[in-house]
Structure 1
């Protein structure tokens, strides 16, 4: 392994992690020649503070670990779960940079999140620490001019699956299993995580 590691940072609530998350991470890993992708499980995402998370932090972490078990270059990270307060991306990236001082960090996010990035806390700190890798989303988006030339669009079909869709299907007893990696499917079935 080279001394200068290339590390993808994929943050999310992962409530639950689904097949599209894994596809995005694989695209980033292969297209950008990353050494590994850290899946950072959010503890208290500030933009979702009014919405209740359906699975606990430990359940979400367990599902992420299950989904990643067969890919040694994917790793679940507790960096946000182990600190108090809201999970701000700029702070998380700076902590990860301290933990991996020789690494180049790549923040993986969806096109919908890229559009909102200028409204996040300390977007310039984020851009100073990490390169942005963006997954396309269905629909059209107006990218803020301040981000021109500051991101790489991943080459993959737009992602149409969402964790909300998985939870809604499970709660309504509609088929959702095909949206989840098999180990997550087994975890959700065993624990009844999203069935009301």
Structure 2
């Protein structure tokens, strides 16, 4: 019998996906010996419900596809885009477990998200469905006691880069290309995304 697949699940709005996202996914793939990492593009992120996204769902998905086109073991996933309603991680993990019944799932999140995990929908379900791989973030975060020891910290330097910074630079017509994978930068320019 073959060993179960090890699949990383990296969810986000990816508005846009940037170099730090790709570096984190590659570090997770290598350090946790994952067969692949799925970039799960959020349709309606519940924690950002009051904010208008800079790019459409299809543009965000296309940018993720561009970012992973030349990266073995990294894939774009439509699992949240192709269903109705808010994008809750617990439900996404259930769907992915059905799609990959013999797989071990690894949820890739930032340290800021780990600190906030008790406020997510069904955090206990998330912890039973997937092992957490946590990327360090600049700043200090208090990790809730029940989560201590229940995750693996990725060995990667904290990266101070955000999608907000990319959008802001593009809107001000300032250089932003060095923050993006080359094919994503090209997509943003060609489609005028973020006023670029």
TM over 0.5: yes
CA offsets, 1:56-83, max 9 Å, x none? 0000000000000012311110000000
Give the gaps of 5 or more residues in structure 1: none
Gaps of 5+ in 2: none
Residues 99-118 of structure 1: pairs in structure 2 closer than 5 A: 99-118=99-118
User: In the alignment, what sits opposite 2:50?
Assistant: 50
1:155-194 equivalences in 2 (<5 Å): 155-194=155-194
Which position in structure 1 is the counterpart of 2:121? 121
Q: CA RMSD in A?
A: 0.8
> Which position in structure 2 is the counterpart of 1:40?
40
Distance 1:38 1:127 in 2: 18
Answer yes or no: is the 8 Å Cα contact 1:107–1:132 preserved in 2: yes
What's the secondary structure of 1:105's corresponding residue?
strand
TM-score (norm: length of structure 1): 0.98
TM-score w.r.t. the length of structure 2 is 0.98
Q: CA deviation at 1:116?
A: 0.3
Give the 5 Å matches for 1:63-74.
63-74=63-74
**C-alpha separation between the residues in 2 aligned to 1:50 and 1:170?**
22
CA distance in 2, matches of 1:188, 1:15: 11
The secondary structure found in structure 1 opposite 2:27 is helix
Aligned length, in residue pairs: 195
Measured against aligned partners, the alpha-carbon deviations of 1:139-161 in whole angstroms (never above 9, x if no partner) come to 11111101011110000010210
Question: 1:78 and 2:78 equivalent?
Answer: yes
3-state SS, counterpart of residue 178 of structure 1? helix
User: Deviation of residue 104 (structure 1)?
Assistant: 0.4
Contact conserved, 1:135 with 1:159, CA < 8 A, in 2? no
Matched, 1:145 2:145: yes
